[in-house]
Amino acid sequence: MIFKFFFLVAYFAFSAEASILSPPYPQTSTDQSNVLRYLNGGPFVENTGFGLPLDPPYGCKIEQVQLFMRHGERYPTKSAGKTFETLYQKLKNDTVTSYSGPLAFVKDLEYFVNDPENYEMESTKGVYSGLLEAYRLGAFFRERYESLLDSSSVVPIFAASQQRVVDTARSFGKGLFLDQYNSSCSIQIINEVGKMNGANTLTPITNCLSYNTSLYQHTFGENIYQAEAERLNALSPGFNITPDDIFTMGAYCGYELNVKGKSDMCQALSMDAFQALQYQDDLQKFYQFGPGHNMSAVSGGLLANASAQLLQEDRKVVFSFMHDNDLLTYFTALGLPTDTELSTEEIEFHRSFKTSEFIPQGARLIIEKLNCSDSENVRFIVNDKVYPLPGCSSGPGFTCPLEETIELLTPEHEYAEACGLPDDRPHELTFYWDWEPTFTDN
């Protein structure tokens, strides 16, 4: 009898039909151990979202799509690169007789930027290539929004003027139009150098004369970085890792992933260190370009107001490429980060504001206008996940009714007045309407 009992247990445990060991819905949760969620400058990672499907709600048809996107994965800036090179030289020059522990990889480590000309440019190789990510997104748009594309007319793609942004826009356009790229797509470069463009810009932070980005002066994580440095020095004798090195190592990890697709530096750091690194970056962004800055929503309101105007038109597609900080002000204007302040003393684990959720490399905000039988509604997709607007989700599939969306997108303060723009600079954003087809920059 006992034998029969154990036989039945074994049968059901290993029977493919019973699926006891392979439940249809996984009972594990590993997403938050993904290192991409804790990196400063690392590769794109999807928003965690709310489980809502990307397919349009039942009875709804997409009438218009707007895309606001950060440039894709890139090499570090020249200044960051100098810091990484200094760390690299220090690690290679430390007196180590026997490479062991978390830093054993340093013995064979090679610096990941092999050409100084690549600094600040999009990455072109590896699984996290910035240009490849943009191309694939363009291909996704071609499939998803094919009915909105008119092959007989020229489609503008608007891009801030820094080369990495323009390159991302071009790669997206090539993925979208394939062999018709040169005839169907016109890259519209919006100058971001200086402040003469005033409100007619994709980089409203730069052009806002009253926007002070030096308000945040706090530091965070010294004790955690100190403990991490002591851990590494104990486990890998011969190195002299300092708390400052920990911050640099975290950033090194992210950019090496962008360029090479892998990084042993990521494996060396503990999750405690990554939590502190992420929170330090979140604090800086929150108080410089997020809800913690009094001018952030004003800056993002410029682009939000343009979206509101476009939603009221018959235009089918609108594509815009920019930088992370300007995109973050747009998210702030929408009210998507719901925190009003963040502690500078300890990590607030229950915060909604995380830079990896809103502005990783290649971050994108997709706005879809939907015709739902007897109503028009709008939904927002943040980094590939449907993201209902706080306080406005009464439409089908938790969308926001068009009229309410337009009201929410209309800024409380006029950008030109709040930013103190002089009379000789544009006080309105007009490039979405007064552009002219050009193919010289394709």
Query: Which residue spans within 288-420 are E strands per DSSP?
Result: 317-322, 364-371, 376-382, 385-386, 400-401
Question: 43 near 380, Cβ under 8 Å?
Answer: no
The three-class DSSP label of residue 39 is coil
**Chain centre distance of CA 102:** 29
Torsion of CA 76, 80, 85, 88, to 10 degrees: -90
Degrees, nearest 5: CA angle 259-359-73: 15
Please name which of 314, 408, 414, 307 lies closest in space to residue 365, comparing C-alpha atoms.
307
Catalytic residue among 281, 282, 324, 326: 324
Instruction: Clarify whether 244 is annotated catalytic.
Output: no
Amino acid identity, residue 281? D
Q: What would the two tokens of residue 201 be?
A: 């810009």
Q: Which residue has the tokens 């590769």?
A: 43
DSSP state, residue 282: H
323 labelled catalytic? no
The residue from 55, 71, 384, 423 that is catalytic is: 71
- Collapse the DSSP code of 356 into the 3-class scheme (helix H, G, I; strand E, B; otherwise coil) and give the result: helix
Cβ-in-10-Å burial (0-12, 13-18, 19+) of 101 comes to: middle
Residues in the chain: 442
Query: What is the Cα 388 distance to its own chain's centre?
Result: 18
The amino acid that residue 431 corresponds to is F
Indicate which residues carry an active-site annotation.
Answer: 71, 324
